[in-house]
Amino acid sequence: MNTLTTVVVAFNTLANALGQLLTPIAWLPDWLSLTLIAGLTGLGMLLAFKYTSNQRAIAQIRRDIRANLLTIRLFRENLRVALTAQARLIVAALRLLGHALIPMAVLTVPMIFLLAQLALWYQLAPLPVGAETVITITLAGPTETPLPVVILLDNDAIEDVSGPVRITSQRQVCWCIRAKQPGYHTLQFDLEGQRYEKQIAIGEGVMRVSPQRPSRHWSEVLLYPWETPFPRESLVQAITIEHPQRSSWIAGTDSWIVYWFLISLVAAFCLRGFLRVHI
């Protein structure tokens, strides 16, 4: 697992560097930027599919599928022929699935990293000025040991409303804060003389929002790629800031990924003839 986490961290470093290219998202309407990205992704997926799949075999299977569909239509009076064609259709579909495995494997990894980057922009909204939220710091160690003292250091961007609240059973310390200044800010925590940091995004519109600085576990690192994960031996395991979900007719919670999925598919289907790709 440790190796996998290291690999994911390494990929994240690369993805974050490339993710800088997504900065124009902040200047464009969310529907427009998401449409453009989805279109380009569709194109990329199509090309990747073209060069990682057995195009000749897929074209042949597609022809088989069409032939069997037409068999059902043309010879429907003959039940034996029609049912045989349906069985062949299922076999063809399975063969198509088999031919999709390698492109699928090749596409899945970059897609996961791309989507993790996109999620930073489209999944959550930044904290509006004046809004209150909860910051939670999760500490390492057994639950029976007492929690150490954790201090949220003063910061002009936020106002400490209440806290810290200590939940010993979960080894968590929470604060309720109010956002004051728009922009990207870094919050600092003091724990036994050590400083720990976490970014916060305050403002309106589309901003890159990292809701959690994760622990060093590969799945956490994969989902929250922007901030460096805490080392395995760190006293702090994670710092989380609750952000409101984004809501818009396209890029609302959970629907942005559906929209992205549909647009990328439509783009791929539209371009497949032009690029001569059998999918």
Partner 1 sequence: MNSLVRWWLLTGLGLVLTAESAWAYIGPGAGFAVGGSFLVMFAAVFSAVAMALSWPIRWLWRLAFRKRPPQRPRFQRVVILGLDGLDYGLTVRWLQEGKLPHLAKLQQQGCFRPLGSTLPPISPVAWSTFQTGTNPGKHNIFDFLVPDERTYQPKLSSVEVRPPRRAIRLGPLRVPLGPPEVRLLRKSQPFWAVLSHYGIFNCVLRVPISFPAEKLHGVQLSAMCVPDIRGSQGTFSLFTTRPHHGETTTGGEVQIVKRHGNVVRGELVGPDHPLRSDRGPLKVPFTVFLHDNNRAELHIDGATYELRVGHYTSWVPVCFRTFPRVRVHGVCRFLLLATQPDFELYATPVHIDPEKPALPIGYPAVYPVYLASKQGSYATLGLAEDTWGLNEQVLTDDHFRQQCLDTDREREEMFFDALEKVSHGLCVCVFDGSDRLQHMFWRYHDAQHPARPADVPPDHAAAIEDLYRRMDALVGRTMARCDGSDTLLMVLSDHGFTTFRRGVDLNRWLEENGYLVVDDARRNEDYLAGVDWSRTRAFALGLTGIFINLQNRFAQGIVAEGGEADQLRAELAEKLATLTDPSNGQRVFRRIYQAQKAYRGGYVRQAPDLILGYESGYRVSWDAAVGRTTTAVFHNNTKAWSGDHCVDPSVVPGILFCNQPIREENPRLLDIAPTILNVFGVPAPDYMDGRVLEVGTPAVVSPTS
Name the minimum Å distance from CB 155 to partner 1: 30
Q: Interface with partner 1 by CB under 8 A: which residues?
A: 41, 45, 49, 53, 63-83, 86, 89-90, 92-94, 96-97, 100-112, 115-116, 119, 219, 222-223, 257, 260-261, 264-265, 268, 276, 279
Residue nearer to partner 1 on the CB measure, 107 or 147: 107
CA distances from 79 to 68, 71, 86 (A): 13, 11, 10
CB of 115 to partner 1, least distance (A): 4
Q: Find out whether 189 and 153 touch, Cβ atoms under 8 Å.
A: yes
Q: In what order do the strands lie in the sheet with 158-167?
A: 158-167, 172-179, 132-139, 236-241, 212-213
Q: How many of the other CB atoms lie within 10 Å of CB of 95?
A: 16
Q: How far is the CB of 105 from partner 1 (least distance, A)?
A: 4
Q: Which is nearer to partner 1, 2 or 78 (CB)?
A: 78
Q: Among 187, 211, 225, which residue's Cα sits nearest to residue 127?
A: 211
**74, 83, 105, 132, 253 from 88: Cα distances, Å:** 16, 9, 26, 60, 41
Specify the DSSP element, H or E, that contains 161.
strand 158-167
Amino acid at 270: C
Query: Cβ closer to partner 1: 4 or 153?
Result: 4
Q: Are 173 and 167 contacting, i.e. CB atoms less than 8 angstroms apart? A: yes
Q: Which is nearer to partner 1, 100 or 167 (CB)?
A: 100
Q: Closest separation between CB of residue 228 and partner 1, Å?
A: 19
Residues sharing a CB contact under 8 Å with residue 259, sequence separation 6 or more, in sequence order = 34, 38, 250, 251
Least spacing, CB of residue 279 vs partner 1, in Å: 6
The least CB distance from residue 142 to partner 1, in Å, is 24
Question: Which of 87/149 has CB closer to partner 1?
Answer: 87
Identity of the residue, 199 or 253, whose beta carbon is nearer to partner 1 in the bound complex: 253
